[in-house]
A and B are shown apart, each in its own frame.
Chain A
């Protein structure tokens, strides 16, 4: 119905019709992934414009953080460096991608208000822009991750395909959370602050800087933390450990339910979103 040369907009209501329109938005956004990619590249390039290292600041600042925290905590908790440093590197990098996607999700529509209010670009285009931007960041971090794994001898035992599956599950979940944050933030301007606070809290409650076995008999709290499963699905295979089957169950269920809820909310708010901004 809506192609480059034909646009139809009606005031028709009804859950089914709105659902169809939302699905069309999603489908159209897949047709224009190239635009999302260009916008994401532009975002990254413009953030580091004029600096000598350019986007490699992403790599450098992450490297310093990983080394700093790695050495500090390893000596505080008397952990072997060859085990803890790669562990913390993976934790910070992948948790960072997740928080980055969700936190920046809040600004997704707010920053795109100019384009949304005078073009018929799909809304989802801007969600993919946020997701791609964080993927580009991740690509810059990979140097650290791979370097660390090779240096400490984990690379030979790392299960890369399984880790990629973990990354996929992480992105699937982070993107619906980001979409939800984007819609909510467009309507209520308090949401970004709440999201940032929650994600900050989550990074300390999730075994990013500490080992899960330290939790002892309180393991149940660990299993109730979705971010733990998200992180574990990526980190464990790379460290040569196995992932609990429970984690996959949690992640797949969360992705399906999360996307369902998000999509329903999107289909109900889609025609109003541009007015929120």
Chain B
């Protein structure tokens, strides 16, 4: 198997915003000045440039933290790396099995039971029914939900749902792990478990890309950091220079 790697060359992702009339466009512009990316307009659709000319090279062992204020393009970059958003210019090349943990609620059906949801989530992530059968016990145990797993997820508390989703989402083996900040799920006891599991996953995964606002998390999981500002990326620097980057 080839080692995991991510290569982005002159990556530009634009977002067409449909159905934005003059009024909401004005609002969007006002917002864009405060927090968003650069706005352009052509052919009746509003274009938001979410990422522009981003160059990135990551190899196995790299654990990149993404920082930047809301709307700076962190999630867009993660989605582009997951293959959902296509570049408008440039290219993305990813070697390795990708697991994107961007939204814990992905593929969660509130009226289905915990077991069914684990099954569904793992199917979407690419596991076969046999794989899931083989792993079910381990996943079920990790959730710590016991008999509740046979009950519909809508009867769960938010913390329980978080446990379920986290357990199912992290059951997948991968080489490239993409995460949007949501690590804080469940109670203190579960957080400890989650932390251990995540570290293991990070060890196993060749590459981690994590978007977060929390400096302690970055220091815990990442060895490199990159700042995004209005869709423009800074250099990738060592995690020790995080404070400088945050001040800049």
- Residues on A facing B (Cβ under 8 Å): 4-12, 34-35, 38-39, 42, 46, 49-50, 114-121, 187, 271-272, 274-276
Contact = CB atoms under 8 A, between A and B. Distances in A.
Given A39-B120, A119-B82, 7 more contacts: A5-B2, A9-B87, A9-B92, A12-B91, A35-B123, A118-B82, A187-B18
Contacts of B96: 5
Contacts of B83: 7, 9, 119-120
Interface string B112-150: 100010001001101011000000000000000000000
Closest 3 CB pairs of A and B: A120-B83, A10-B91, A11-B87
A42 B112 contact: yes
Given A9-B86, A119-B124, A49 B111 contact: yes
A12 B93 CA distance: 13
A8 B95 CA distance: 9
A218 to B, nearest CB: 43
Contact of B97 (A4, A9, A271, A274): A4
A46 B111 contact: yes
Given A46-B111, A114-B107, A6 B95 contact: yes
Given A49-B111, A274-B84, A42 B94 contact: no
Contact of A271 (B86, B93, B116): B86
A15 to B, nearest CB: 16
Contact of A119 (B15, B16, B100, B116): B100
Given A114-B107, A275-B16, A10 B124 contact: no
B126 to A, nearest CB: 7
A17 B84 CA distance: 18
A11 B91 contact: yes
B1 A5 contact: yes
B103 interface: yes
A9 B8 CA distance: 10
